[in-house]
Structure formats: C-alpha cells, structure tokens
Amino acid sequence: MADREILQLIDHAVISPTCTEAEVLAGLEVALHYRTAAFVAPPVWLPLAVASLRGTGIAAVTTCGFPLGANATATKTVEAYDAVVAGADELDMVMNYSALRSGLLGLVEADIRAVVGACGYAAQRLGQQPIVVKVILEMCYLTEGEKRQAVEFAVAAGADYVKTSTGLGPAGATVEDVEFLRELAPPEVKVKAAGGIRTVEDCRRMIEAGADRIGTSATERIAEELDE
C-alpha cells in the first residue's frame, strides 16, 4: 500500500463529549479535504454530517451506546433506527462489555443483534440497503477469553466490523489486539483499529496487523507527516 492510501482508510472522528458544532464543521472540512473513508460524529451532529457529505463518497457515521455500552437495548435500538432515518451510512455501536464481564452472555449477543436488526428494519422501511454496523468491543477492559466471546457474539449477530476501542477508554488499539481480531473474525467481517492512533507509523502497524479501517482524530497530523 502506498502511504497516501492510508488516508483513504481513515474514519476521521470528532466524538469528544465536549465537541462543538464549530469543531464538527472543522472536522468535516478535514474529511473532505483529505478524502477519508468516513467521518464520525455524535448523533446530535449526524444530520450536519449527512448534509455536508452527500454525494462525496465519504461515509457519514455516528455512534450508538457510546461510550460505555451500558444503555438498555431498547435505547440502543432507537438510536440505531434514528441514525438510519437521519441518513447514516455506518453505525459504530459499543458492545455491552459490562454485561460480558458479568457473565450475561445472552444479553451481550441479543443487544448486538437488536441493533443490527433495527438498522435492517429502518433500511427496509426506507427502501435502501442495510447500513454497515461496527461493534466496538473496548478491548482494554476484557480478558483474552472475553475478547474471544465478544468477537463470537458480534459475528453471530451480523456485525460487519469488529472494532478495538472507543478512543475514550484508558487504552486504545494495540497491534496485538488487531492481530487477535483478524485471526478470530471470518474474512467477511472487517476490523477497525481506533484509539491512540496518531502517526503514520501507528497506521502502518495497524494495517499490517490486519486493520481495514483506522479510527482517529489526528488525520491532519498524519497527512502532514505523509507530506513530509
């Protein structure tokens, strides 16, 4: 892969809990300028992203159950349905890792399945194809066994991607976790690395480990480094 192609794998994210409308607009300019794969914004700013990205080929992405994953499943399904109706191309949902760590395994899979189902139902009502659903596992909190279970549940529930982290936890993506996800997930399920990825070298390492997408808010810094 040519280094410049790294930018085409980036989901540029503006998802800080304190982000403002002006910061979202600035982030959209970054995504448009560098032609990233996607732009990720909180649900309240999704309509702004959809309007700005329409016809550009850059996916409008929002979150669900973010950042803790512990919302009631009913709440997550409403978030998912609303995201599709608002025009989202992709949805990054946070798995209920609290339930997983509690041994409530049925709840974990049912939660993911409900969100995937809500996206599919909304798309069907609108006469369009289902959107892409990425499941954030927040791997820094999980044991190796829990990581295996998380991937198994996400795959069984119909997720399109498994994703390492929210970027707001105590640790982000690691090469080892990306390799682990790529080994466990079937070929049709992709891997997104996110959290703490701020340099070209970080991106290279994650892509070499098996990441199909890179989630970062440091797109400008990465692009400047590529230019150098």
Q: What is the pLDDT of residue 175?
A: 98
Which residues share a beta bridge with 75? none
Q: What is the pLDDT of residue 220?
A: 97
Residue 4 — pLDDT band, cuts 50, 70, 90? Answer: confident
Catalytic-residue membership of 163: yes
* HSE toward the beta carbon, residue 54, CA cutoff 13 A: 8
Cis amide bond preceding 67, omega within 30 = yes
Q: What is the pLDDT of residue 92?
A: 98
Q: What is the pLDDT of residue 1?
A: 66
Any residues with CB less than 8 A from the CB of 83 and at least 6 apart, and which?
A: 43, 46, 62, 64, 91, 119, 131
Neighbour count for residue 141 (Cβ, 10 Å): 17
How far apart CA 53 and CA 57 sit, in angstroms, is 7
Q: How far is CA 20 from the centre of its chain?
A: 20
Neighbour count for residue 55 (Cβ, 10 Å): 5
- Per-residue pLDDT averaged across 195-210, rounded? 97
* HSE toward the beta carbon, residue 211, CA cutoff 13 A: 30
Which residue in 111, 163, 190, 202 is the catalytic one?
Answer: 163
pLDDT at position 130 over 90: yes
Look up residue 197 and give its two tokens: 């990825």
pLDDT at position 212 over 90: yes
Catalytic-residue membership of 11: no
Q: What is the pLDDT of residue 228?
A: 85
Predicted confidence (pLDDT) per residue in 41-78, tens digit: 999 999 999 999 999 999 999 999 999 999 999 999 99
Which residue in 92, 160, 177, 202 is the catalytic one?
Answer: 92
Look up residue 144 and give its two tokens: 């190796």
Which residues share a beta bridge with 190? 161
How far apart CA 141 and CA 121 sit, in angstroms, is 32
Element (H, E) at 61: strand 59-64
Mean predicted lDDT score pLDDT of the chain = 97
Domains parsed from the chain with CATH numbers: 3-227 (3.20.20.70)
Catalytic-residue membership of 134: no
Predicted confidence (pLDDT) per residue in 218-228, tens digit: 999 999 999 98
